[in-house]
Amino acid sequence: MATEFVKSLSDGVEGKLHIVMFPWLAFGHIMPYLELSKLIAQKGHKISFISTPRNIDRLPKLPLEYSTSITLVKIPLPKVDGLPENAEATMDIHTKDIVYLKKALDGMELELTSFLEKISPDWVLHDFAPYWLAPITTRLGISRGFFRIINAWFFAFLGSTDMMLTGWTNRPPTPEKFMVPPKWIPFETKAAFRHHESKWIVEGMQKNVSGVSDLYRTGATIKGVDVIIIRQCREFEGQWLKLIEDLHHRPILPVGLMPPPLHYINDDNSETWACIKEWLGKQTKCSVVYVALGSEVTIGPTEINELAHGLELSGSPFFWVLRNPSKSGNLDHIELPNGFEDRIQDRGIVWKSWVPQLKILSHESIGGFLTHCGWSSIIEGLMFGHPLIMLPFLVDQGLNARILEDKEIGIEIPRNEEDGSYTRDSVSSSVKKVMVEKDGKKIREKAKEISSIFGNRRLHDKYIEELIQFLEDHRKMSNGHSS
């Protein structure tokens, strides 16, 4: 229980910050929050990192250097009808059941409030979901920030704070509304959703079983915070940062791209990595396509078949991470096309468990990254200069693909506009273009060039220093600190 940690957390070092982190219950959110926690803790500040018991237990073990600066705090997730037993993160459930997870998170309010009352932190940095936090932190004199792990263009696409709160003037638009750039974007952009992607935005504007819409959650969260912190940098699409400041009338603080520390690459001597490294070492330099669609994407049998046949037809060596879904309930076991693994055994691997992604991407044999276009995966791929073969599925991923294709650092696999289906031929031709064809040379070169931004450790460390300076300068006086 959270109260077990209270006494040790109260004994803060004079002048140092005590920050509570409260990410949304998805590991695509939890892990960037944990990485930011480490970056802040390295500067001597104290972090209380809050999630549910099962999510905390699934986190990678923290290095010893954080044993006194980061405290992992478990707050139980209340039971909610419709949410399967032991489901505490989006990866545990079907997409349609995520609304019940939001309702359950709302039930954490009382215990979270009690925890904040007892430890009196300087700041709470939280995600979009706890829209009810502002009155609590205001009463307690705690500064609050919205840490947005998704990039700036998706944020801007959703409109102003008032538009979010009113559901776009109470008349939710049709999917077609999202298939062109919004009128409030004052510069040219390819940011637009496909028809099959935009349906979920319309759904996100509807009130769900939690009592509010997803869009309202985000708007209420923004309205209640002192600052919006976003995983973006001015050197890459900086015009979007200015736009979201104009839309939301809040200070916008880019935290940089937070590329993972390179020491992660050198501290794994596991049998898993030894086996993978041996196979990669036998491949030609820059010849292998790394294929990974993240932990949140569940693709159906037809999509798996077409992707498999496409990789086979491409002729390129590939390393495909294809993990069984961990969702609760009865989901189909992943099945590859008949005889596929036998046919590709000389030039391809299908790996069905966890892999050290960063280490694989850093290997010299990797020449391209077939990705679902999650922002964290994009950052990891581009920090090593890998051109992207893009197959987006959820939330911001479609916009990411449009922006990056327009920048000529990757190409999007062509799909059916209406249902999002793709074919083996579209997969194969996309892989060939990025990996070997003359037409893809510019893409390969530009991806290498952009690594000077995405992999620039000094640049992104400077953003973290600016963030910490802001947090130090703007903590509330009611906590007994000068501001």
Q: How many CB atoms lie within 10 A of CB 167?
A: 18
Least confident of 279-293, 311-325, 368-382, 460-474: 311-325
Asked if 149 and 218 count as a contact pair (C-beta separation under 8 A), the reply is no
Largest alpha-carbon pair distance within the chain?
A: 68
Identify the three-state secondary structure at position 203: helix
Mean pLDDT of the chain: 90
The tens digit of pLDDT for each residue in 122-146 reads 999 999 999 999 999 999 999 999 9
| CA distances (Å), origin 183, targets 154, 174, 178, 199, 425 | 14, 16, 11, 19, 36
In sign, the C-alpha dihedral spanning 415, 418, 421, 424 is negative
**Mean predicted confidence (pLDDT) in 181-193:** 94
Check if 263 is active-site.
no
pLDDT at 255 over 70: yes
CA distance 400 to 375: 8
- The whole-number pLDDT of residue 421 equals 93
State the DSSP H helix or E strand holding residue 99, giving kind and residue range, or none if neither: helix 98-106
Using pLDDT thresholds of 50, 70 and 90, give the confidence band for residue 478: very low
pLDDT at 3 over 60: no
- The whole-number pLDDT of residue 14 equals 57
**Mean predicted confidence (pLDDT) in 181-201:** 91
The tens digit of pLDDT for each residue in 83-96 reads 999 999 999 998 88
- The whole-number pLDDT of residue 482 equals 37
CA distance 475 to 483: 6
Start-to-end CA span in the chain (Å): 32
**Mean predicted confidence (pLDDT) in 57-79:** 96
Strand-strand pairing, 143-148 and 252-254: unpaired
Using pLDDT thresholds of 50, 70 and 90, give the confidence band for residue 325: low
pLDDT at 5 over 60: no
**Mean predicted confidence (pLDDT) in 168-192:** 86
Token representation of residue 10: 């109260």
CA distance 108 to 136: 13
Using pLDDT thresholds of 50, 70 and 90, give the confidence band for residue 326: low
DSSP string, 48-97: EEEE-HHHHHTSPPPPGGGTTTEEEEE-PPPP-TTSPTT--SGGGS-GGG
Cβ-defined contacts of 330-338 (< 8 Å, 24+): 331/94, 331/298, 332/300, 332/301, 334/304, 335/301, 335/304, 336/304, 336/305, 336/308, 337/305, 337/308, 337/309
Asked if 250 and 225 count as a contact pair (C-beta separation under 8 A), the reply is yes
- The whole-number pLDDT of residue 333 equals 64
- The whole-number pLDDT of residue 57 equals 97
The whole-angstrom distance between residue 101's C-alpha and the CA centroid of its chain comes to 18
In the set 92, 127, 226, 396, the catalytic residue is: 127
Of 427, 470, 414, the C-alpha closest to 122 is: 470
Kindly give the residue spans of alpha helices, DSSP state H, lying in 374-423: 375-383, 397-406
**Mean predicted confidence (pLDDT) in 102-126:** 97
Using pLDDT thresholds of 50, 70 and 90, give the confidence band for residue 206: confident
- The whole-number pLDDT of residue 264 equals 60
Which carries the bigger pLDDT value, residue 249 or residue 200?
Answer: 249
pTM score: 0.90
**Mean predicted confidence (pLDDT) in 243-253:** 95
pLDDT at 329 over 70: no
CA distance 303 to 466: 44
- The whole-number pLDDT of residue 265 equals 62
Q: In what order do the strands lie in the sheet with 252-254?
A: 70-74, 46-51, 18-22, 123-126, 143-148, 227-230, 252-254
CA distance 105 to 29: 14
DSSP string, 295-310: TT----HHHHHHHHHH
Check if 214 is active-site.
no
In the set 29, 309, 363, 372, the catalytic residue is: 29
Token representation of residue 105: 């998170």
CA distance 94 to 325: 10
Using pLDDT thresholds of 50, 70 and 90, give the confidence band for residue 188: very high
Q: Burial code of 389-417, b = ≥16 C-beta within 10 A, e = fewer? A: bbbbbbbbbbbbbbbbbeeebbbbbebee
* Sequence-separated (6 or more) residues with CB below 8 Å from residue 425: 310, 313
- The whole-number pLDDT of residue 331 equals 41
Of 471, 358, 426, the C-alpha closest to 45 is: 471
| CA distances (Å), origin 359, targets 28, 274, 276, 362, 437 | 19, 11, 10, 5, 26
DSSP label at residue 220: H
CA distance 157 to 240: 10
| Angle in degrees, 0-180, between the axes of helices 133-140 and 109-119, rounded to the nearest 10 | 20
